[in-house]
Amino acid sequence: MSGPVKLRIGFIPLADAAALIVAADKDFAAGEGLDVELVREVSWSNVRDKLNIGLFDAAHLLAPVAIASSLGLGHVKVPILAPFNLGLNGNAITVSPGLHAAIAAAADGDIADPKVSSCALARVVRERRKAGKDPLTFGMTFPFSTHNYQLRFWMAAGDVDPDEDLRLVVLPPPYMVESLASGHVDAFCVGAPWNSVAVDLGIGHILHFVSEILARAAEKVLAVRSQWVADNPGVLERLVRAHTGAAAYVEDPANRDEVAAILSAPNRIGVAAEVIRRTLDGRLKISPSGAVRASDRYLLIGRAGDARPDPTQAAWLYAQMVRWGQAPMSAALLAAAKAVFRPDLYDAALGGGHGLPAGEPADGIGAFAGPAFDPDNIAAHLAIWPIRRGD
Amino acid sequence: MASNKKPGPGGAARTAAGGHPLKIAIVDESPIRAAILEEGLHDAGHGDVVRIADMTDLLTRIYAVDPDVILIDLENPSRDILEQMLQMSRAVRRPVAMFVDQSDTASIQAAVDAGVSAYSVGGLKKEGVKHILDLCISRFNAFARLQSELERTKTVLEERKIIDRAKGILMKAKSMTEANAYALMRRTAMNEKKKIVEIAQSVITTAELLK
């Protein structure tokens, strides 16, 4: 037998890198004969480029970036495969105390309901325009990000045009909190732990968990180049098995303290274990006054079916790229997008196929607005929405 | 080959599509590296260089500078902010990532290895930007070499200090000459297959414990 297979895997310090970090730091990877070196990165552009040129064997990647790379949108075209979801959901929308008060005052009902909050946001936007004030600015993490599409989906459902009525700006996650404090942005959508950090500092209110907007949204995937899969037969299966073990370990409440401690290390996420623990538990302080919101859908990592890639998710993300003018509409691109998410590779590693577990949305998405999503009819999905850029 | 009208190799790189001198923005939080880069660009005939060190409201700053080429350090998280510029549907002048050219993976590899990324704005010719990127790669590499040399010098100095202290301790404790104290540590290091600085450090630690 030769020695363990050496792998370099890039990640961004976020809570949904949990399975990746635990796989490497808790011997799940070693158990599969993999010697994983984790490399912490500072930007999604870096993770994408280093994966694309082969400096990384695999990466913690925004699900839409895997699709954009495969379709050659905005950058070099490199076919990427996603055999494993590292996390579903997990983002939240945080607003400044001023904007929170304005939305609450304009609301016709409970602002915990995204239908109510998005309509209230539309009123706030109109009032500001009438008063001659600058448009609101929302921060998100990357042009091809779930955060971008989740914010847009939510606000456009309330009749706010995300390109005309306010400004959406990209901010690296570690700069979000500072930008909210300085008033550079009025709100942001970002993954854990940054929403909690803003609330703890008393400068933000969590308005929504994104799971209130979409019940089931592929967030980060374990991404590999399809060429790498061809060049390294058998390694992907081991990688998937190692991460399956690690994700289940993260999921077990009995291990949460240990997992939070592992993730809090300075060379991993580098944020207090207690804050990470809240994220893993889905119990978040949502206002500086101490109010808590709990959801068992806040961040999904290791329950049955969470990690299995679903091409419907890829189709939904591609539909958003078309809706907001990032990609042209074509049957070939839709098929290529779906082919990035590979449940067959997941099944091959673990044996047996699995559908969506009970209790999950029937269309695989569970959006708060609009009819059920049909992955084979993107045009119908787009036609519903009056606010859109492309097709 | 360049025609006679052109001012030499890379000369085509010095003007933008409109004929005005190229304006280059360097986004780098390291003032030393930015200065080294700027100097290199000046030497290559690029006089119009703007350094941006403050990342607050970066896009607005970039729009105000209105550069033809943007250079950014890969260790800078703000690279993702620049990626947004590639996506803006309504931007008049739309930047293009230097890496978009599919064929040139060697260039991408060299840039990523060196830690620099380039974006061109407007109708710049690929060769022009490539010339600038190549220059930046060599400057970034030179800076990295300087830094590692500095680190090495620092380490050597630190190690010498430790060995000198240990020598002093041995000379006093065992009434040895300096040469003998050094020889003793060297011999011990060889016997234990360790570095002499490690032996010196244990001499110091032991002496402190016995104080």
Higher pLDDT, B148 or A213: A213
Does A368 lie at the interface with B, CB-CB under 8 angstroms?
no
Angle between helices A256-264 and A273-281 (to 10 degrees): 130
Structural domains in chain A, sorted by start: 5-89+218-270+302-383 (3.40.190.10), 91-212 (3.40.190.10)
Query: Tokens representing B88?
Result: 């803006």
Report the topology of domain B151-209.
Arc Repressor Mutant, subunit A (1.10.10)
**3-class secondary structure, B69:** strand
From B185's Cα to the closest Cα of chain A, the distance in A is 36
- Please judge whether A175 and B77 are an interchain contact, meaning their C-beta atoms are less than 8 angstroms apart: yes
Q: What percent of chain B has pLDDT over 90?
A: 28
Does A53 lie at the interface with B, CB-CB under 8 angstroms?
yes
Of A42, A142, A169, the CB nearest to B59: A169
Smallest CA-to-CA distance from A56 within A6, A112, A111, A119 is with A6
Contact residues, chain B, for A179 at CB < 8 Å:
56
**According to the model, what pLDDT value does residue B14 have?**
64
**Most confident of the ranges B43-47, B52-56, B182-186:** B182-186
Does A389 lie at the interface with B, CB-CB under 8 angstroms?
yes
CB B200 within 8 A of CB B162: yes
Suggest the residue from A12, A39, A48, A53 to mutate for an interface test with chain B (most B CBs closer than 10 A).
A53
From B93's Cα to the closest Cα of chain A, the distance in A is 15
From A4's Cα to the closest Cα of chain B, the distance in A is 26
Helix (H) or strand (E) holding A86: strand A80-89
Q: Where in chain B is the domain with CATH 3.40.190?
A: 11-148
Does A174 lie at the interface with B, CB-CB under 8 angstroms?
yes
What is residue A186's DSSP assignment? S
Q: Could you tell me the pTM of the whole model?
A: 0.85
**According to the model, what pLDDT value does residue B30 have?**
84
- Please judge whether A53 and B100 are an interchain contact, meaning their C-beta atoms are less than 8 angstroms apart: no
Q: What percent of chain A has pLDDT over 90?
A: 91
Suggest the residue from B30, B73, B75, B80 to mutate for an interface test with chain A (most A CBs closer than 10 A).
B80
Bridge partners of residue A140, in order along the sequence = A170
**According to the model, what pLDDT value does residue B106 have?**
74
- Please judge whether A141 and B80 are an interchain contact, meaning their C-beta atoms are less than 8 angstroms apart: yes
**According to the model, what pLDDT value does residue B122 have?**
61
Does A142 lie at the interface with B, CB-CB under 8 angstroms?
yes
Low-confidence ranges of chain A (pLDDT < 50): 1
Of A49, A172, A326, the CB nearest to B87: A326
By CB atoms closer than 10 A (0-12, 13-18, 19+), residue A199 is buried
Smallest CA-to-CA distance from A155 within A199, A195, A186, A196 is with A186
- Please judge whether A74 and B83 are an interchain contact, meaning their C-beta atoms are less than 8 angstroms apart: yes
Of B55, B83, B102, the CB nearest to A143: B83
Dist. CA A223–CA A225, nearest whole Å:
7
Instruction: Report the chain B residue with the minimal C-alpha distance to residue A326.
Output: B87
- Please judge whether B90 and A163 are an interchain contact, meaning their C-beta atoms are less than 8 angstroms apart: yes
Dist. CA B172–CA A60, nearest whole Å:
57
- Please judge whether A74 and B87 are an interchain contact, meaning their C-beta atoms are less than 8 angstroms apart: yes
What rounded mean pLDDT belongs to chain B? Answer: 80
Does A171 lie at the interface with B, CB-CB under 8 angstroms?
yes
Dist. CA B131–CA B137, nearest whole Å:
10
The DSSP string of A288-309 is TT--EEE-TTSEE-SSTTTTS-
> For chain B, which residues lie within 8 Å of any Cβ of chain A, measuring from their own Cβ?
55-57, 59, 74-84, 86-87, 89-90, 97, 99-100, 102, 105, 108-109, 112, 117
Residue B44 pLDDT level (bands cut at 50, 70, 90): confident
- Helices (DSSP H) in chain B: which residue ranges? 31-43, 58-65, 79-87, 105-114, 126-174, 178-192, 196-209
From B136's Cα to the closest Cα of chain A, the distance in A is 18
Of A50, A170, A182, the CB nearest to B81: A170
CB pairs under 8 A between A and B: 78
**According to the model, what pLDDT value does residue B88 have?**
58
CATH entry 1.10.1060 includes domain B11-148: no
Q: Where in chain B is the domain with CATH 1.10.10.10?
A: 151-209
- Please judge whether B108 and A326 are an interchain contact, meaning their C-beta atoms are less than 8 angstroms apart: no
Instruction: Report the chain B residue with the minimal C-alpha distance to residue A172.
Output: B77
Suggest the residue from B61, B76, B83, B104 to mutate for an interface test with chain A (most A CBs closer than 10 A).
B83
**According to the model, what pLDDT value does residue B17 have?**
59
**According to the model, what pLDDT value does residue B63 have?**
82
- Please judge whether B74 and A46 are an interchain contact, meaning their C-beta atoms are less than 8 angstroms apart: yes
From B78's Cα to the closest Cα of chain A, the distance in A is 6
pLDDT in tens, A156-214: 999 999 999 999 999 988 889 999 999 999 999 999 889 999 999 999 999 999 999 99
From B119's Cα to the closest Cα of chain A, the distance in A is 11
Of B55, B99, B105, the CB nearest to A75: B99
Q: What is the dihedral of CA B135, B136, B141, B143, to 10 degrees?
A: 120
**According to the model, what pLDDT value does residue A140 have?**
96
**According to the model, what pLDDT value does residue B115 have?**
82
Dist. CA A264–CA A197, nearest whole Å:
14
Q: Is the peptide bond before A193 cis (omega within 30 degrees of 0)?
A: yes
The DSSP string of A309-320 is --HHHHHHHHHH
CB B59 within 8 A of CB B84: yes
- The ipTM (two decimal places) reads 0.88
Of B38-52, B84-98, B196-210, minimum mean pLDDT range: B84-98
Contact residues, chain B, for A322 at CB < 8 Å:
none
